Amino acid sequence: MTRYLINFSYDGSNYNGYQKQKGLNTIQGKIEDALKYINNKDTKFSASGRTDAFVHANNQFGHVDIDVNITENKLKRALNSLLPDDIYVKSAKKVNDDFHCRYMVKEKQYIYIINMGEFNPIERKYVYQFCNKLNLYKMKKALKYIKGTHDFEKFSSNEHKEKNTVRSIYTAKIKKRKNYLIFSFSGNGFLKYMVRIIVGVLIQIGSNKMNPSDIKQIFSGDYKFKYKKIAPPEGLYLNNVKYKKI
Protein backbone atom coordinates (compact mmCIF):
# COMPACT_ATOMS: atom_id res chain seq x y z
CA MET A 1 0.00 0.00 0.00
CA THR A 2 1.32 3.40 -0.95
CA ARG A 3 -0.23 6.74 -0.03
CA TYR A 4 -0.30 9.40 -2.74
CA LEU A 5 -0.93 13.11 -2.38
CA ILE A 6 -3.01 14.29 -5.34
CA ASN A 7 -3.02 17.94 -6.47
CA PHE A 8 -6.03 18.62 -8.68
CA SER A 9 -8.17 21.39 -10.14
CA TYR A 10 -11.79 21.46 -11.21
CA ASP A 11 -14.57 23.42 -12.79
CA GLY A 12 -17.37 23.06 -10.23
CA SER A 13 -20.14 24.23 -12.60
CA ASN A 14 -21.51 20.79 -13.27
CA TYR A 15 -21.20 19.37 -9.76
CA ASN A 16 -23.24 19.21 -6.59
CA GLY A 17 -20.07 20.05 -4.70
CA TYR A 18 -17.01 18.07 -3.77
CA GLN A 19 -18.46 15.55 -1.34
CA LYS A 20 -19.89 12.25 -2.54
CA GLN A 21 -23.67 12.02 -2.20
CA LYS A 22 -25.82 9.18 -3.42
CA GLY A 23 -27.33 9.81 -6.85
CA LEU A 24 -25.63 13.20 -7.25
CA ASN A 25 -22.81 14.30 -9.52
CA THR A 26 -19.85 15.09 -7.25
CA ILE A 27 -16.10 15.61 -7.63
CA GLN A 28 -15.30 12.94 -5.02
CA GLY A 29 -17.64 10.52 -6.77
CA LYS A 30 -15.88 10.98 -10.12
CA ILE A 31 -12.43 10.59 -8.57
CA GLU A 32 -13.42 7.45 -6.63
CA ASP A 33 -14.92 5.97 -9.84
CA ALA A 34 -11.56 6.46 -11.55
CA LEU A 35 -9.59 5.13 -8.57
CA LYS A 36 -11.74 2.00 -8.37
CA TYR A 37 -10.71 1.20 -11.94
CA ILE A 38 -7.00 1.82 -11.24
CA ASN A 39 -6.88 0.12 -7.80
CA ASN A 40 -9.21 -2.76 -8.76
CA LYS A 41 -11.45 -2.20 -5.73
CA ASP A 42 -13.55 0.42 -3.96
CA THR A 43 -11.07 3.11 -2.97
CA LYS A 44 -11.68 6.02 -0.64
CA PHE A 45 -10.38 9.43 -1.62
CA SER A 46 -9.96 12.14 1.05
CA ALA A 47 -9.65 15.83 0.25
CA SER A 48 -8.36 18.80 2.27
CA GLY A 49 -11.97 19.86 2.67
CA ARG A 50 -15.25 20.17 0.85
CA THR A 51 -16.26 22.79 -1.67
CA ASP A 52 -19.90 23.73 -2.23
CA ALA A 53 -21.90 23.10 -5.39
CA PHE A 54 -20.64 25.22 -8.34
CA VAL A 55 -17.47 26.30 -6.50
CA HIS A 56 -14.18 25.84 -8.38
CA ALA A 57 -10.68 24.77 -7.32
CA ASN A 58 -7.40 25.90 -8.83
CA ASN A 59 -5.47 23.75 -6.39
CA GLN A 60 -7.29 21.20 -4.30
CA PHE A 61 -5.41 18.39 -2.54
CA GLY A 62 -6.38 14.91 -1.51
CA HIS A 63 -4.79 11.60 -0.59
CA VAL A 64 -5.43 8.01 -1.55
CA ASP A 65 -3.98 4.61 -0.68
CA ILE A 66 -3.17 2.48 -3.70
CA ASP A 67 -2.33 -1.24 -3.56
CA VAL A 68 -1.23 -1.76 -7.14
CA ASN A 69 2.29 -0.84 -8.16
CA ILE A 70 2.18 2.39 -10.14
CA THR A 71 4.55 5.33 -10.62
CA GLU A 72 3.54 8.87 -9.67
CA ASN A 73 3.41 9.96 -13.29
CA LYS A 74 1.45 6.90 -14.42
CA LEU A 75 -1.11 7.45 -11.66
CA LYS A 76 -1.51 11.07 -12.79
CA ARG A 77 -1.98 10.01 -16.41
CA ALA A 78 -4.31 7.13 -15.55
CA LEU A 79 -6.53 9.45 -13.50
CA ASN A 80 -6.63 12.10 -16.23
CA SER A 81 -7.52 9.53 -18.86
CA LEU A 82 -10.43 8.29 -16.72
CA LEU A 83 -11.70 11.59 -15.31
CA PRO A 84 -14.11 13.91 -17.18
CA ASP A 85 -12.44 16.99 -18.69
CA ASP A 86 -13.68 19.34 -15.95
CA ILE A 87 -11.47 17.64 -13.32
CA TYR A 88 -7.70 17.62 -13.85
CA VAL A 89 -4.95 15.94 -11.83
CA LYS A 90 -1.86 18.18 -11.79
CA SER A 91 0.37 15.78 -9.87
CA ALA A 92 0.47 12.58 -7.82
CA LYS A 93 3.22 12.32 -5.23
CA LYS A 94 4.13 9.44 -2.90
CA VAL A 95 3.87 10.46 0.77
CA ASN A 96 4.32 8.78 4.14
CA ASP A 97 1.45 6.63 5.39
CA ASP A 98 0.88 9.05 8.27
CA PHE A 99 0.31 12.03 5.98
CA HIS A 100 -3.27 13.27 6.11
CA CYS A 101 -4.52 15.82 3.57
CA ARG A 102 -7.11 17.27 5.97
CA TYR A 103 -5.57 17.09 9.43
CA MET A 104 -2.22 18.44 8.31
CA VAL A 105 -3.44 21.56 6.54
CA LYS A 106 -1.40 24.62 7.60
CA GLU A 107 -3.11 27.21 5.43
CA LYS A 108 -5.92 27.49 2.93
CA GLN A 109 -6.27 30.20 0.32
CA TYR A 110 -9.48 31.22 -1.41
CA ILE A 111 -10.19 33.80 -4.06
CA TYR A 112 -13.53 35.32 -5.01
CA ILE A 113 -14.10 37.28 -8.23
CA ILE A 114 -16.78 39.91 -8.81
CA ASN A 115 -17.63 41.70 -12.06
CA MET A 116 -18.86 45.23 -11.30
CA GLY A 117 -19.28 45.99 -15.02
CA GLU A 118 -21.78 44.86 -17.62
CA PHE A 119 -23.14 41.29 -17.44
CA ASN A 120 -20.80 38.95 -19.29
CA PRO A 121 -22.46 35.69 -20.41
CA ILE A 122 -19.08 34.09 -21.17
CA GLU A 123 -18.00 34.19 -17.53
CA ARG A 124 -21.39 33.72 -15.87
CA LYS A 125 -20.30 30.42 -14.25
CA TYR A 126 -16.86 31.68 -13.20
CA VAL A 127 -17.31 35.24 -11.93
CA TYR A 128 -20.15 36.68 -9.82
CA GLN A 129 -21.96 39.06 -12.17
CA PHE A 130 -22.80 41.72 -9.61
CA CYS A 131 -22.87 44.44 -12.31
CA ASN A 132 -22.88 47.38 -9.89
CA LYS A 133 -20.19 49.66 -8.54
CA LEU A 134 -18.81 48.92 -5.08
CA ASN A 135 -17.01 51.26 -2.70
CA LEU A 136 -13.52 49.76 -2.59
CA TYR A 137 -12.29 52.13 0.12
CA LYS A 138 -15.00 51.03 2.57
CA MET A 139 -14.51 47.35 1.78
CA LYS A 140 -10.76 47.60 2.31
CA LYS A 141 -11.40 49.29 5.66
CA ALA A 142 -13.69 46.37 6.59
CA LEU A 143 -10.95 43.83 5.87
CA LYS A 144 -9.10 45.03 8.98
CA TYR A 145 -11.95 43.71 11.14
CA ILE A 146 -11.95 40.36 9.32
CA LYS A 147 -8.23 39.67 9.70
CA GLY A 148 -6.95 37.95 12.81
CA THR A 149 -8.33 35.27 15.11
CA HIS A 150 -12.08 35.40 15.75
CA ASP A 151 -15.02 33.16 16.46
CA PHE A 152 -16.49 33.03 12.93
CA GLU A 153 -19.66 31.19 13.98
CA LYS A 154 -21.78 34.15 12.83
CA PHE A 155 -20.02 34.01 9.45
CA SER A 156 -20.94 30.40 8.79
CA SER A 157 -23.75 27.95 8.34
CA ASN A 158 -24.53 26.00 11.52
CA GLU A 159 -25.24 22.97 9.39
CA HIS A 160 -22.35 20.83 10.62
CA LYS A 161 -22.57 22.06 14.25
CA GLU A 162 -18.78 22.45 14.52
CA LYS A 163 -17.68 22.71 18.13
CA ASN A 164 -14.74 24.99 17.47
CA THR A 165 -15.68 27.90 15.25
CA VAL A 166 -12.57 29.98 16.01
CA ARG A 167 -10.42 30.54 12.92
CA SER A 168 -7.45 32.72 12.06
CA ILE A 169 -7.44 34.80 8.88
CA TYR A 170 -3.84 35.58 7.96
CA THR A 171 -4.44 37.73 4.90
CA ALA A 172 -7.53 39.42 3.45
CA LYS A 173 -7.02 41.51 0.32
CA ILE A 174 -8.95 43.08 -2.52
CA LYS A 175 -7.35 43.84 -5.89
CA LYS A 176 -9.13 45.87 -8.58
CA ARG A 177 -8.54 45.03 -12.25
CA LYS A 178 -10.67 47.18 -14.54
CA ASN A 179 -14.27 46.37 -13.53
CA TYR A 180 -13.28 43.28 -11.56
CA LEU A 181 -12.60 42.82 -7.88
CA ILE A 182 -10.47 39.88 -6.80
CA PHE A 183 -10.81 39.09 -3.10
CA SER A 184 -8.19 36.80 -1.58
CA PHE A 185 -8.23 35.23 1.84
CA SER A 186 -5.80 32.94 3.58
CA GLY A 187 -6.22 31.34 6.96
CA ASN A 188 -5.76 28.21 9.03
CA GLY A 189 -9.24 27.01 8.10
CA PHE A 190 -12.63 28.12 6.89
CA LEU A 191 -16.10 27.13 8.08
CA LYS A 192 -18.95 26.20 5.76
CA TYR A 193 -20.01 29.24 3.67
CA MET A 194 -17.50 31.39 5.59
CA VAL A 195 -15.78 32.99 2.57
CA ARG A 196 -19.09 33.53 0.78
CA ILE A 197 -20.68 35.13 3.85
CA ILE A 198 -17.64 37.38 4.40
CA VAL A 199 -17.82 38.44 0.72
CA GLY A 200 -21.59 38.92 1.08
CA VAL A 201 -21.06 41.25 4.04
CA LEU A 202 -18.28 43.09 2.17
CA ILE A 203 -20.68 43.61 -0.75
CA GLN A 204 -23.23 45.09 1.69
CA ILE A 205 -20.53 47.43 2.96
CA GLY A 206 -19.37 48.29 -0.58
CA SER A 207 -23.00 49.05 -1.46
CA ASN A 208 -23.25 51.48 1.49
CA LYS A 209 -25.86 49.32 3.24
CA MET A 210 -23.55 48.52 6.17
CA ASN A 211 -20.53 50.20 7.75
CA PRO A 212 -17.08 48.62 8.00
CA SER A 213 -17.25 48.72 11.80
CA ASP A 214 -20.52 46.74 11.77
CA ILE A 215 -18.30 43.69 11.40
CA LYS A 216 -17.19 44.16 15.02
CA GLN A 217 -20.87 44.11 16.02
CA ILE A 218 -21.47 40.92 14.01
CA PHE A 219 -18.66 39.17 15.91
CA SER A 220 -19.97 40.40 19.26
CA GLY A 221 -23.55 39.44 18.38
CA ASP A 222 -24.80 43.05 18.72
CA TYR A 223 -25.50 43.51 15.02
CA LYS A 224 -28.95 42.27 14.04
CA PHE A 225 -27.65 39.92 11.38
CA LYS A 226 -31.08 38.59 10.56
CA TYR A 227 -30.24 36.70 7.44
CA LYS A 228 -26.84 35.82 6.22
CA LYS A 229 -26.05 37.58 2.98
CA ILE A 230 -24.24 34.89 1.08
CA ALA A 231 -22.34 35.59 -2.13
CA PRO A 232 -23.14 33.09 -4.90
CA PRO A 233 -20.86 30.08 -5.44
CA GLU A 234 -19.68 30.72 -9.02
CA GLY A 235 -17.21 33.46 -8.01
CA LEU A 236 -15.40 31.27 -5.45
CA TYR A 237 -12.16 29.34 -6.02
CA LEU A 238 -10.18 27.18 -3.60
CA ASN A 239 -6.86 28.60 -4.76
CA ASN A 240 -4.31 26.68 -2.73
CA VAL A 241 -3.65 24.56 0.35
CA LYS A 242 -0.37 24.55 2.29
CA TYR A 243 0.75 21.65 4.49
CA LYS A 244 2.72 21.45 7.70
CA LYS A 245 5.05 18.86 6.18
CA ILE A 246 4.91 16.55 3.22
Residue in 7, 71, 12 with CA at minimum distance from that of residue 38 = 71
Candidates 178, 173, 172; CA nearest to 133 is 178
Please confirm, yes or no, whether 222 is among the known catalytic residues. no
- Give CA 209 to chain center in angstroms: 27
Interacting positions 76-105 with a second copy (CB under 8 A): 85-88, 90
Q: Are 116 and 130 in contact (CB under 8 A)?
A: yes
Going by C-alpha positions, the residue among 129, 207, 214, 201 that lies closest to residue 172 is 201
Contact predicate 92/72, CB 8 Å: yes
Name which position in 2, 9, 211, 217 contacts a second copy (CB under 8 A).
9
Under the binding rule (CB under 8 A), the answer on residue 188 touching a second copy is no
Binding mask 124-163 for a second copy (x = CB under 8 A): x-x-------------------------------------
211 binds a second copy (CB under 8 A): no
Q: Which of 4, 5, 6, 10 binds a second copy (CB under 8 A)?
A: 10
- Over the window 52 to 81, marking each residue x when it contacts a second copy by CB under 8 A and - when it does not, the resulting string is ----x-x-----------------------
How many residues make contact with a second copy (CB under 8 A)?
17
- Catalytic choice (11, 42, 52, 86): 52
Choice from 122, 177, 224, 245 touching a second copy (CB under 8 A): 122
**Side chain identity at 211, as an amino acid letter?**
N
Instruction: Report helix, strand and coil shares of the chain as percent, to nearest 5.
Output: 25, 30, 40
Q: Are strands 236-243 and 87-95 parallel, antiparallel or unpaired?
A: unpaired
Q: Which residues bind a second copy (CB under 8 A)?
A: 9-11, 56, 58, 85-88, 90, 118-122, 124, 126
